[in-house]
Amino acid sequence: MISDKKTFSGAKSYVLDEELAKIVNISMALEMPLLLKGEPGTGKTMLAHAIADTLGMPLITLNVKSSMKLIDALYQYDTLTRLNDSRFGDSKKDVSNIEEYIKMGKIGQAFTADKRTILLIDEIDKADTDFQDDMLDVLDQMEFDIIEIDKTISTKHRPVIIITSNAKKDLSDPFLGRCNFHHIAFPDPKMMRKIIKVHFTNIDSDLMENTVNVFYRLRELESIEKRPATRELINWIRALKSDPDFKPKDLVKGDIPYLGILFKKSPDYARAINTVSRRRII
């Protein structure tokens, strides 16, 4: 699988587990969207970037917003410019040709691109259910109509579609029916060490061991609302590395600096500080 040019096997800045690689390849082969769920910080969005990087395909990202309508993602008809142009007539555009005033949205761009693209639809759960269902219809048929010019846009190259969702809640059934699904679990310590190695190529092994140990222990604290994720760990290590006074041994002694990088909600932070100072968690 790995030697084949068209399959995906991980990127320089992204540590991929084998299972996920397989699912990505299968979704690409079946030409079905892949829905990724998982805790924030498990690298859902990063995956799309990594695939784009590895396969050398352009990445088009649609950041879903709650107020978004499907049409915004497909195309936009710039009526106001046309109205102005028709009034003053100093534009280079042909006012009688509506098509010149149609701008493609993100999905439209992916459909009309000259080569196969990766279409990342990020945080689909922010939009309402109608948006999701309608969008899947478009992605299923790989075409949409532009009503204003009575033209059907269909794909030149079926894009590879990656959809991410943060929600605990399930998406609607018709939506799920049309995607493949994977849940990215939070990386285990072994995986985490690999991830850290990717980000800090020559990291001191003491530093890595101690930080990872402390990190997983801190994650297990009770009643934490936002548990620290990979991003926080990496930033934390970065902070520790840049502190000249810090020695990895300090962590073993139970002296844990910069907790604010790991815990970003004040009750969480207070609880972490409390636990760390009250009893040694190592």
What residues line the site for other proteins (CB under 8 A)?
A: 19, 22-23, 25-27, 29-30, 32, 34-35, 37, 66, 79-80, 83-84, 87, 125, 128, 166-170, 173, 176-177, 179-183, 185, 223, 225
The encoded tokens of residue 29 equal 């082969």
Smallest separation (angstroms) from other proteins to the CB of 145:
20
Q: Which is nearer to other proteins, 84 or 112 (CB)?
A: 84
Smallest separation (angstroms) from other proteins to the CB of 199:
25
Q: Which is nearer to other proteins, 142 or 239 (CB)?
A: 142
Q: Give the separation between CA 43 and CA 163, rounded to whole angstroms.
A: 13
Residue with tokens 């080569």: 115
Smallest separation (angstroms) from other proteins to the CB of 252:
29
Q: Which is nearer to other proteins, 79 or 154 (CB)?
A: 79
Q: Which is nearer to other proteins, 38 or 105 (CB)?
A: 38
Smallest separation (angstroms) from other proteins to the CB of 48:
16
- Using DSSP bridges, classify how beta strands 143-146 and 151-154 pair: parallel, antiparallel or unpaired: antiparallel
**Beta strand residue intervals within the chain, DSSP E:** 34-38, 59-63, 75-77, 102-104, 118-122, 143-146, 151-154, 160-165, 180-184
Smallest separation (angstroms) from other proteins to the CB of 96:
15
Q: Amino acid identity of 143?
A: E
Q: Which is nearer to other proteins, 11 or 171 (CB)?
A: 171
| Range 20-29, long-range pairs (CB < 8 A, 24+ positions) | 20/47, 20/182, 20/184, 23/180, 23/182, 24/51, 25/1, 26/180, 27/160, 27/180, 28/160
Q: Give the separation between CA 48 and CA 112, rounded to whole angstroms.
A: 19
Q: How many residues does the chain have?
A: 282
232 C-beta neighbours (distance < 10 Å), count: 19
Q: Which is nearer to other proteins, 181 or 200 (CB)?
A: 181
Smallest separation (angstroms) from other proteins to the CB of 216:
15
